[in-house]
Amino acid sequence: MLTVKKVSPLGYLIIAIIVAEVLIFIPSSLKDIAPTTFVAPAEDVDLSIQGFKAVNLGANGQKETIRAKQAELYQKSGFAILKEVDARLFTESDDVIHITGEKGKYNLKNKNLEIFGNIVAVSENLGYQLKTTYLKYQDQEKLLSSTESIYLSGPNPNAPSLIVKGKGFLSSPNDHRISILSETYCKKFDEGADSIEIDSDKADIFLEKNEALFKENVVVTQKDMNIFTDHFKIAFNRKNKGIDQATAFHLVKIVQGDRIATAQKAHFLNREQKIVLKGNPKVKQGADVVEAKVVVFFTAENKILFDEAVGEVYDQKFQGFGEVK
């Protein structure tokens, strides 16, 4: 029911259902997702509404809804200012993304929505929760984005196995991908093994695939071990969200005390507490240097094994190293 507080000659407005073609589009820069000003224009409100509701069609024809406790409509400028926003969006796999926020700005023509203040977005099927202070939804492109800090946790936000923080993100709900644009930090807990922490410039989190790819200036920390690499990919277990495996690639350096190992690729088997180095692996400790076809770190036993190793060992206390042939 609409309660009219003030009506101009243009005041009677019917909100139409707009059917948008579904396109996937990723902006090329942050300029495409920068927030517009929230300040209302200096024109009279055409219509004030209690209980605003707009309905659009989702990827598979589902009825997506945007609700607000209150709304002020500005017909000349073509948008509505919303208070206490509640939106429900659909993905191609019929997951529901439920979003709430303090205020909103809804474009009556292209159906784009901006939300401001204490925003919580929840994947109802997968359980992940994202918090931020600004969110933009582009209806035609089916794209969520933000320029602000974000906090992602789940699949149980009260006891998460995955926590991700960052600055700015792009997300295509249709493939459950969240691309963190800068200042990425991740903590991944594992069942029956040590957790890992990851810092990187960027990251792509694929929630439905249970995968994450961290990119550019990546530093992975586990206990007293630091791994430096260009890319670090982890795969979660679908059942308990533990780390099935992880891979660092495109130049890898592992530092543990005075021991330094380098390789082109490193495979992490977390629950087995084992790291396998391939691609010209080399291990240094003090004056000792060993190269091999394959190097295997046994992190719990502080032991290293070599396959087809060559090198020089000057210190008989070359700790943790297997036999050099």
| 77 in a structural domain | no
- pLDDT, tens digit (0-9, with 9 covering 90-100), for 263-273: 999 999 888 88
| Residue 240 placed within a domain | yes
**Residue 112: what pLDDT?**
95
**Res 257: pLDDT:** 87
Residue 300 lies in a domain: yes
Compute the distance between CA of residue 6 and CA of residue 3 in angstroms, rounded to an integer.
9
In the chain, the amino acid numbered 204 is D
Q: CA-CA distance, 35 to 145, in Å (whole number)?
A: 10
Q: Give me the mean pLDDT over the 298-310 stretch.
A: 79
Under 8 Å between Cβ of 254 and 223: no
| pLDDT-based confidence at residue 31 (cuts at 50, 70, 90) | very low
Per-residue tokens: 188: 């991944």
Highest mean pLDDT among 60-64, 264-268, 297-301: 264-268
The answer to whether position 204 is within a domain reads: yes
Would you say residue 183 lies in a domain? no
| Whole-angstrom distance, CA of residue 48 vs CA of residue 70 | 8
Closest of 94, 50, 96, 97 to residue 73, by C-alpha: 50
Place of tokens 């792509």: 204
Kindly state whether residue 282 falls inside one of the protein's structural domains.
yes
Residue 168 placed within a domain: no
* Domain count for the chain: 1
Residue owning tokens 């203040």: 117
Structural domain span for residue 243:
192-325
Tokens standing for 15?
A: 């909100």
Residue 17, CA distances (Å) to 54, 76, 91 in order: 7, 19, 19
Domain membership of residue 208 (yes or no) is yes
Residue 285: closest CA among 239, 320, 251, 237:
320
Query: The domain spanning residue 294 has which CATH number?
Result: 2.60.450.10
Q: Is the pTM of this model over 0.75?
A: yes
Separation CA 38–CA 162 (nearest Å): 33
Q: Is residue 140 within 8 Å of 24, Cβ to Cβ?
A: no
Convert the pLDDT of each residue in 85-132 to its tens digit: 999 998 877 889 999 999 999 999 999 999 999 999 999 988 999 999
| Mean pLDDT for the chain overall | 82
The partner residues of 60 in beta bridges, in order of sequence, read: none
